[in-house]
Chains A and B, each alone.
Chain A
């Protein structure tokens, strides 16, 4: 891992003015991302995980939205930059892959045109070079016979293939940071496996930093180096992936893990659900934002005083006055552990382990 982070976010705040008052969607976010590193941001809807990355390049409606803090990409702070200047960063240095491959492509343009649009704007290349690069990118993301498919329209691709195109667009200008915002949520699980594998392989090849935003703790386990758990616009727990899964210490993270049904759970334990609902960003509770739902709360303190994010050792951060006791943390981790080995490619013929992309018939409509 490189010494200097390629992306540093400091005290990022994002809020929106609404009729019901100020919605504070991201409240003081800090993190570093290094080259080649995968940072996972986990949270439920409304936790601010998506908005925080969109706000880095102000891809949110700005009259109601407000951004403050610092976003250092190399030596540049993006927050004070004007719309015009940000154009040089969006797509060029920070690439995005969004959730829904159905709507993140424009249905009336062929994919080749959408793929080359950013390159034509950002890169000083001839038309011929751009075309070559486009073909190369499609090849990389596993689209068979790419030179023939450049002129096809999005509807001529299947969901998984479309998401590959979206990834190719995200990578088209060789960004230092790729933000994958719920990039596999809309896909079937077998397709998700392909896409996760693909992004991992591309990251190894190209060495970019990846911010992977998801609500799926399973996906995170396989790909992340470091994990941020967000709740109500703040990081409530941050740790290296192994530490987090072995010993989650924040009550919310523990709650999430215990509410997860786990494959191959033999005796069918009861799922421990987190009572209640996440707070509305316009009406955040006093004190700790999680305290109304917390099983470990102490009403005197948690309801009045907001806990700071503190280090409990080895860069494991939690935002809570109380650490979940070791035994409970380990129990939660054990509950999330599968009891039977899932089938593996080794169990079947080797041919199956090959990525489907190279087969001739992939990608038909």
Chain B
């Protein structure tokens, strides 16, 4: 893909543990690579603690990456000086999960939106500024005369829309949306997802949509990356990942999601994962997932599988789909063989 707006290569974020520098660290994100094409929505799913939010933050350098690179429209984001970084943030905005915590409680919502304009010297002049704030609020379905109200007066969904208006203020190219609907009620979730889709169409936005709700992610995304314990284990088109999940973790995840159909739900036999998520301070050797994988075999403890193409545009990090894996466990996925090495 040459039309990539964002290219992430080997991105890693380690958080040192304690004060001693003995090398113990939480490997929140550990060697993540992906591209996001212009106008595309990439969905990033995974369960709590998988590093999906940290990936989003590191991408915008709201958390400093430990390793790896982020290229945005030809700009090496990690090389930007503090000053250039602040300027660059005009082009890449973020929407946060908790609409209750992501707005300053002592700032009227109009000011929250207007502040983005002030920072980048946009729409100067009192009248122009006020008009623009009104426009942005209207854009997200709020009446312009709510500008002087405080966040606590709004409902969760309305606050989230203020957060979106603020993110839109500087006309960014790219928005990282970190669990933007997780804190909202079902009927409100749809409002926010529809709004985001509409904005994307109208303003030609590129999204990284981070969520734990695979159904929502699938609804809004073009492609989906599944994360487990700091790694991307599978990356594919939104339909492919559902039609033919390749990684055992993706399969378990999909099988665990309840669907609103009584007959089907009752007859389903879920793939139940064994045990708990290993500590990200001390991940298992070899494949991260092997301690909970139903299809684990001997090589999984030795070889750390990289994300590799299974079919065109469908990548998985599993030895079942690698050469080494097939030698040992050929029987499991006969079709994997046809797809080696794209």
Chains A and B share a contact (CB less than 8 Å): yes
Give the interface of A toward B (CB within 8 A): 44-45, 158-161, 188-194, 196-197, 215-224, 241-242, 245, 255-257, 259-266, 268, 270-275, 277-278, 336-338, 340, 342-349, 351-356, 359, 361-364
Q: Tell which of A271, A353, A363 has the most Cβ of chain B within 10 Å.
A: A271
In the docked arrangement, what's the CA distance between A344 and B256, Å? 9
Q: How close is A152's CB to chain B, nearest CB, in angstroms?
A: 14
Q: A263-B214, A265-B218 are in contact. Are A348 and B294 (CB under 8 A)?
A: yes
Residues on the A chain within 8 Å of B203, using CB: none
Q: A188-B47, A266-B239, A356-B274 are in contact. Are A255 and B187 (CB under 8 A)?
A: yes
Q: A158-B276, A264-B218, A356-B273 are in contact. Are A221 and B261 (CB under 8 A)?
A: yes
Q: A158-B276, A361-B275 are in contact. Are A352 and B261 (CB under 8 A)?
A: no
Residues on the B chain within 8 Å of A219, using CB: 258
In the docked arrangement, what's the CA distance between A262 and B194, Å? 14
Q: A343-B251, A353-B271 are in contact. Are A262 and B242 (CB under 8 A)?
A: no
**Interface positions of B from 287 to 302, Cβ below 8 Å from A:** 291-292, 294-295
List the one stretch of B5-13, B87-95, B142-150, B262-270 in contact with chain A. B262-270
Tell me, yes or no, whether B191 is within 8 Å of chain A by CB.
yes
Interface size of B by Cβ–Cβ distance < 8 Å?
58
Residues on the A chain within 8 Å of B252, using CB: 190, 343, 352
| CB <8 Å contact, A259 and B190 | yes
| CB <8 Å contact, B271 and A218 | no
A–B Cβ pairs within 8 angstroms, 19 of them: A188-B212, A189-B214, A192-B258, A194-B273, A218-B265, A221-B260, A259-B190, A260-B190, A261-B215, A263-B218, A263-B254, A265-B219, A270-B194, A271-B219, A272-B190, A336-B261, A347-B271, A348-B271, A352-B271
Residues on the A chain within 8 Å of B277, using CB: 158
Tell me, yes or no, whether B336 is within 8 Å of chain A by CB.
no
Q: How close is A155's CB to chain B, nearest CB, in angstroms?
A: 14
With beta carbons under 8 angstroms apart, the residue of A192, A194, A257 that contacts B260 is A257
| Beta-carbon nearest neighbor of B256 in chain A | A193
Residues on the B chain within 8 Å of A342, using CB: 242, 254-255, 257, 259, 268
Q: A270-B194, A271-B194 are in contact. Are A218 and B260 (CB under 8 A)?
A: yes
In the docked arrangement, what's the CA distance between A191 and B243, Å? 23
Q: Mark B222-242, 1 if CB is under 8 A from A, else 0.
A: 000000000000000001001
| Beta-carbon nearest neighbor of A361 in chain B | B275
Q: How close is B240's CB to chain A, nearest CB, in angstroms?
A: 11
With beta carbons under 8 angstroms apart, the residue of B48, B220, B251 that contacts A347 is B251
Tell me, yes or no, whether B306 is within 8 Å of chain A by CB.
no
| CB <8 Å contact, A344 and B271 | yes
| CB <8 Å contact, B260 and A260 | yes
| CB <8 Å contact, B271 and A242 | no
Counting from the closest, the 10 A-B pairs by CB-CB distance are A222-B265, A218-B258, A352-B294, A261-B219, A259-B190, A273-B190, A356-B274, A188-B47, A345-B269, A193-B256
Residues on the B chain within 8 Å of A338, using CB: 259, 261, 264
Q: How close is A70's CB to chain B, nearest CB, in angstroms?
A: 30
Q: How close is A212's CB to chain B, nearest CB, in angstroms?
A: 12
* Known A261-B190, A263-B254, A361-B291; 10 more pairs at CB < 8 Å: A189-B47, A216-B258, A256-B186, A262-B215, A344-B269, A345-B271, A352-B295, A353-B269, A353-B271, A355-B272
